[in-house]
Amino acid sequence: MNTALDRNGSERAGSAQIGLAQAGLEQDVAMQATTLLGAKLQTQGARARLQNHDWPPVHACTTLPEALRAFLALDVVARDALLADMRADADRHGAFVHMSLGEIYAYLFGYRDGVATDAADDALESALLGAKIRLEREFIDHWVGRVDAPVFDSVASAADHLDHLAATNPGVHHSLFHYIEHEAPRAQVEMFLRGEVIRNEVVDDEVALLAFGLQGTQKAVAVANLWDECGRGRLENFHTFWLRRFIGPEPDQWDAFMRLRGENPWFAKITSNTNNMLLTRPAYKQMAYGCFMMFESWVEPHFRAIMGAMDRLGDFDNDRRVYFAAHIAVDPRHSRELSEGLRMQCPPLDTRRLNDVVRGAHLAVAAGTRQYDHWLRYFKHATAHAPDGLQARTPVAGAPVLEME
Ligand SMILES: [Fe+2]
Ligand SMILES: [Fe+2]
């Protein structure tokens, strides 16, 4: 009797468990049928006018810059010799390496400012990819040169170091941002802001590339970041939509932006190129993660300085402020999440990959700080030599816009 009762009891318990498991399964499956998007994709009124412009705000590529075309035509030995020769002139070298890499990354991202993005061109694309690898070697070995990074044997110690580096590296409170906030004339602030729009116009794609090839918690934080970039499904909240608002709704505002983007100096490409180099080389995947941690974490102090400059100069409405104001809120969280994604990664990164994250972070700091050094020198030189604080209205693509003294 007892045995039968026990059996009946355990049968009931067993069938209850099966019932629960079944309900859990149905819940898991049902979740896949609901959408995260709903009606979020609809845009109306003034917002629709902004969304109507093609993005990113670039002209269609007609031809590669002459200097890059000539480089593609050289054999390996001649390319080595040309680059070695350029190194004697730091600005010529930097301009050539970064302008050329910028063209190659534009091609890889596939928008209309890249060559071979309308139709495949096997010969040109083979040459471009070969040049990419050679120019990235030049970037690492000669343009940025030696970057010292400590080595760690535990995730916790590496992550602690990265958090500390993110808060204290020389790019965080670089004097460029003090200058922008307190001294730069309006024309320079406007030029710098255009550079920020150009820098960030396809950051969502960079985050998408970061997710590619990662797994686990690292992938989760990269994808959460991408979901933020894409407005969590709402077109009006795409971070690039805030850049649309910065440019303005009128066609002539877009024409002016496209015209003036030609004045963006070569050194404004350094941080994008650093990111894109690491993101597009499989062996540098974890370096890209470390690089991104650094770039996310200094956004807040930099954008506070930019908002300070807007307050000082006046006449910047909410459409022009929203991108910067929103990132002061969002990017400290992104950098915390990147740190947590590394700490919680399971299985933990092996020592090589872990130290790649650290190396990528130090490379990002070295490269980014050089970009800020260049901007500051450019602006101070311009202030001393031109009444409106600007010089070189129409720089030649591939050439430095500034004769350094
Ligand atoms: Fe963003
Ligand atoms: Fe972010």
123 with 232, same domain: the answer is no
- Give the model's pLDDT for residue 103: 97
134 with 233, same domain: the answer is no
- Give the model's pLDDT for residue 8: 67
93 with 118, same domain: the answer is yes
Q: 174 is in which domain, residue-wise?
A: 155-385
128 with 173, same domain: the answer is no
3-state SS, residue 230: strand
Ligand 2 centroid to Cα of residue 181, in Å, is 22
List, for residues 340-359, the tens digit of each pLDDT value. 999 999 999 999 999 999 99
List, for residues 44-102, the tens digit of each pLDDT value. 776 888 999 999 999 998 899 999 999 999 999 999 999 999 999 999 999 999 999 99
**Ligand number with the minimum distance to the CA of 297:** 2
Ligand 2 centroid to Cα of residue 364, in Å, is 15
Check which CATH number belongs to the domain holding 335 and give it. Answer: 1.20.910.10
Q: Write down the number of H helices and E strands in the chain.
A: 18, 0
The residues, any chain, with a CB within 8 Å of residue 403's CB and separated by 6 or more, are: none
- Give the model's pLDDT for residue 396: 36
Do residues 174 and 369 lie in contact, with contact meaning Cβ atoms separated by under 8 Å? Answer: yes
Domains in the chain, number: 2
225 with 346, same domain: the answer is yes
What is the torsional sign of CA 202, 208, 212, 214? Answer: positive
Ligand 1 centroid to Cα of residue 26, in Å, is 36
Report yes or no on 27 lying in a domain.
Answer: no
- Give the model's pLDDT for residue 271: 98
Do residues 304 and 332 lie in contact, with contact meaning Cβ atoms separated by under 8 Å? Answer: no
- Give the model's pLDDT for residue 397: 39
- Give the model's pLDDT for residue 1: 45
The residue from 143, 176, 199 where one domain ends is 143
131 with 170, same domain: the answer is no
The residues, any chain, with a CB within 8 Å of residue 281's CB and separated by 6 or more, are: 136
- Peptide bond connecting 332 to the previous residue in cis, omega within 30 degrees of 0: no
103 with 163, same domain: the answer is no
Ligand 2 centroid to Cα of residue 327, in Å, is 7
187 with 135, same domain: the answer is no
Report yes or no on 31 lying in a domain.
Answer: no
3-state SS, residue 185: coil
Ligand 2 centroid to Cα of residue 132, in Å, is 27
- Give the model's pLDDT for residue 6: 64
Do residues 396 and 180 lie in contact, with contact meaning Cβ atoms separated by under 8 Å? Answer: no
Ligand 1 centroid to Cα of residue 125, in Å, is 30
What span, in angstroms and rounded, lies between the C-alpha atoms of 207 and 251?
A: 29
202 with 308, same domain: the answer is yes
Ligand 2 centroid to Cα of residue 204, in Å, is 9
102 with 197, same domain: the answer is no
Question: What residues of the chain score a pLDDT lower than 70?
Answer: 1-10, 46, 387, 391-405
Of the candidates 200, 166, 164, 170, which has an alpha carbon nearest to the alpha carbon of residue 306? 200
123 with 204, same domain: the answer is no
Do residues 377 and 367 lie in contact, with contact meaning Cβ atoms separated by under 8 Å? Answer: no
272 with 239, same domain: the answer is yes
**Ligand number with the minimum distance to the CA of 295:** 2
The residue from 95, 110, 143 where one domain ends is 143
3-state SS, residue 389: coil
Q: Any idea what the Cα angle at residue 204 is, between residues 175 and 115, rounded to 5°?
A: 100
- Give the model's pLDDT for residue 259: 94
Single-letter residue type at 44: Q
Residues in the chain: 405
Burial class (CB in 10 A: 0-12, 13-18, 19+), 54: exposed
Q: 176: number of CA atoms within 13 Å, CB side? A: 24
Angstrom CA distances, 345 to 41, 153, 215, 335, 398, stand at 33, 15, 8, 15, 42
**Ligand number with the minimum distance to the CA of 221:** 2
What span, in angstroms and rounded, lies between the C-alpha atoms of 261 and 57?
A: 9
Ligand 2 centroid to Cα of residue 271, in Å, is 14
Which tokens go with 215? 């797994």
List, for residues 297-319, the tens digit of each pLDDT value. 999 999 999 999 999 999 999 99
User: What is the residue whose two structure tokens read 């995947």?
Assistant: 285
